[in-house]
Chain A
Amino acid sequence: MAIRGFAARPWTARGVEIMDKIRALIVDDSSVMRKIVERSLRQAGVELDKVLEASNGAEALGTLQNESVDLILCDINMPVMDGLEFVRQLGTVEKAKGVPVVMITTEGSESHVVQALSAGARGYIRKPFTPDQVKEHVLPVLGKKS
């Protein structure tokens, strides 16, 4: 799967990968949680070029009609359109094809994880979460070792 911005990766002499700055879309109905997710991404060592926000799946689909992103972090329980439906519909948006999605949600049951991964999510983080958990689940989908 080609991920925009990660096709050719430079490496330092010590073998430490230099991560390109990425564009992330954070989808959560709580503005507080969107800020916490952004902060956790930075704490996990993800360099952010731009952070886009949406408060539900429908708004996120609209944003993706005009904006390209490298990573999507998405809640499940949201009004208007929940996170599972958003992931299912993501493939219909040309600019979003192949963009990895990591769910960040309080819905931690095995069946929710299976539903999310079946719908196309690449990772799953249960709230409450630590920056280390964000690192563990997000860096691999960006092609980096956590």
Chain B
Amino acid sequence: MSVDTSLPARAHEENWRPVLELAVEEVFEIMLGCRVKPAATQPPATWKTEFTAMVGLAGSLCGILTFACDQPTAREVAKCMLGPEIADSEGQVSDALGEICNMIAGNFKNKLSGTDGRCMLSVPTVIKGEEYSLRSLADGEIIDCILMFQDAPVAVSLQLHT
């Protein structure tokens, strides 16, 4: 799937949501050997995002992409990537989530035509804990996706700068 980034801004969310979901699905299928699917319902109110990975985008596409999930899911993601024996440490779990976020961002922008070489990614940052608020200076559209990974929700959000 390839989408023209020169489309009017009004069309971004409508056009880009399926591209973002596809980017997530491909990363999980290729790197973890697991399928994820868009969630049919919103996660319960008790759901906690204890790990948040983020990657900045700059250039023709400017903003921030985040990937968030609860702690058991974060550990499961790391186990699927690395195997159970080497995914025990918190550092490995954070590193794995940062790479997942990085690959989702890269895969997403590679699917958009018109960003060629003019959109750069930052190195990933991972926040552990839930008592924080994230305020991005990106003031444009926000595309939020909730997907299900092994019956647990994961949240992917793309916040764009106009």
Contact = CB atoms under 8 A, between A and B. Distances in A.
Question: Are both chains from one complex?
Answer: yes
Interface of A: 29-33, 35-36, 77-79, 105-112, 126-130
Contact of B92 (A31, A106, A129): A31
A130 B95 CA distance: 20
Interface string B85-100: 0100001100110110
A77 B99 CA distance: 12
A58 to B, nearest CB: 15
Interface stretch (B13-21, B110-118, B140-148, B149-157): B110-118
Contacts, number: 67
Given A31-B92, A32-B81, A129-B30, A111 B99 contact: no
Contacts of B98: 30
Given A32-B78, A32-B92, A128 B103 contact: yes
Question: Size range of the interface on B?
Answer: 20 to 34
B82 interface: yes
A109 B116 contact: yes
Given A31-B95, A77-B123, A106 B117 contact: no
Interface of B: 26-27, 30-31, 78, 81-82, 86, 91-92, 95-96, 98-99, 102-103, 105-107, 110, 115-117, 119-123
A79 B121 CA distance: 12
Contacts of A126: 106, 110
A79 B116 CA distance: 22
Nearest to B102: A106
Nearest to A33: B99
Contacts of B122: 77
